[in-house]
Amino acid sequence: MKEGIYLATGFLLTVLVIPIVKKVSFEAGYLDRPGDNPLKAHSLPIPHSGGIAFLGIFSLLVLIVFLTDDIADKSKLFGLMMGGIIVSTFGILDDLKQVHAATRLGSEVLAGMILLFFGQGIAAPFGFGILLTLFYVVGAINAINMEDGLDGLAGGMVMLSCLGFAFLAFKAGWSAELMISTVLMGVLIGFLLYNFSPSSIFMGDGGSYFLGFILAYLAISFTSLDSWTKFLGPILVIGAPVFDTAYAILRRLKNGAPLFTGDRNHFYDQLMRKGFTIRQTVLICWGIQLIFVSLGVWIYVF
């Protein structure tokens, strides 16, 4: 029952807040201006302030739960919000004025260290768990950021991942992870009403960094090195962004291109070149993501 309230509240607040955020963004000039940038799929300036709405709504709901609900692992929730604020802030700064790749990486590592400080990490001997936890945080943030190239693509993928993690949390009886998954799912369903093609608002780097960080937190929560199913399952629930990013890294290493420089050779770009529309491409990618998420849940649970 609580989870339904979390989801519905996240959805309704997002539906109400996004129009206000769009209006303020236009007045403030907080817009994604495509210019002659070949990486931009749009032609007109569009607000890229969705991440501000994500952070505000999610933080508000988590704070309410933190203060009113008898939920476990409250210290980890505090670490989650501190880390989320850090990566989202640097993402917003990157939207406003491009931040150096090393600075962005530093903010991601700092957010991961905060999670570790508050007891959220992968258990492994000889400090390997610390490195693996930081790898999950940096990897998930950049994976979701790379998928934010078409209207509704990244938001829909993360929404499906949240569905998978919500199911795992429900089966395990983990109240904190179930709350996080359902709140974020509701926020993203509301956001997609405005972000699905043709989009009237983007999430921006502030949004994609935040979503990637939350997914990393959830994946770390369920990851265990005790069995291959408990290791592989959460990775598959994050899904297609992991594998598209791995392919992008290998492609850039092979071509001698900078790892943190964008390109238009992702899987979704290849679908577009085959003649699919933006909506068709996004729906195909969502379908593939659903397969990954379902497989991850099946491996983990059954």
User: What is the phi/psi pair of residue 31, to 5°?
Assistant: -130, 150
- % of the chain at pLDDT higher than 70: 93
- % of the chain at pLDDT higher than 90: 70
Mean per-residue pLDDT for 169-189?
94
Mean per-residue pLDDT for 171-180?
91
Across all residues in the chain, what is the average pLDDT? Answer: 90
Radius of gyration of the chain (CA): 18
What one-character DSSP code corresponds to residue 29? T
**CA-to-CA separations, 197 to 80, 112, 223, 244, in angstroms, rounded:** 31, 33, 34, 21
pLDDT of 42 reads 55
pLDDT tens for each residue of 197-213 = 899 999 999 999 999 99
Identify the band that residue 127 occupies on the pLDDT scale cut at 50, 70 and 90. confident
34 vs 50: CA distance, rounded Å: 17
244 vs 134: CA distance, rounded Å: 20
- Does the pLDDT value for residue 164 go beyond 60? yes
Q: Which residues contact 211 (CB under 8 A, 6 or more apart)?
A: 54, 144, 154, 155, 158, 184, 188, 203
- Does the pLDDT value for residue 179 go beyond 80? yes
Identify the band that residue 72 occupies on the pLDDT scale cut at 50, 70 and 90. low
pLDDT of 99 reads 86
Helix axes 278-301, 240-255, angle to 10 degrees: 110
Half-sphere exposure of 41 (CA within 13 A, CB side): 22
pLDDT tens for each residue of 4-37 = 999 999 999 999 999 999 999 999 888 887 755 5
30 vs 32: CA distance, rounded Å: 7
What one-character DSSP code corresponds to residue 100? P
pLDDT of 249 reads 85
pLDDT tens for each residue of 245-260 = 888 888 878 777 666 6
pTM over 0.85: yes
In degrees, to the nearest 5, what angle opens at C-alpha 37 toward C-alphas 32 and 39? 85
pLDDT of 37 reads 53
Dihedral over alpha carbons 88, 90, 96, 102 (to 10 degrees): -140
Mean per-residue pLDDT for 52-60?
93
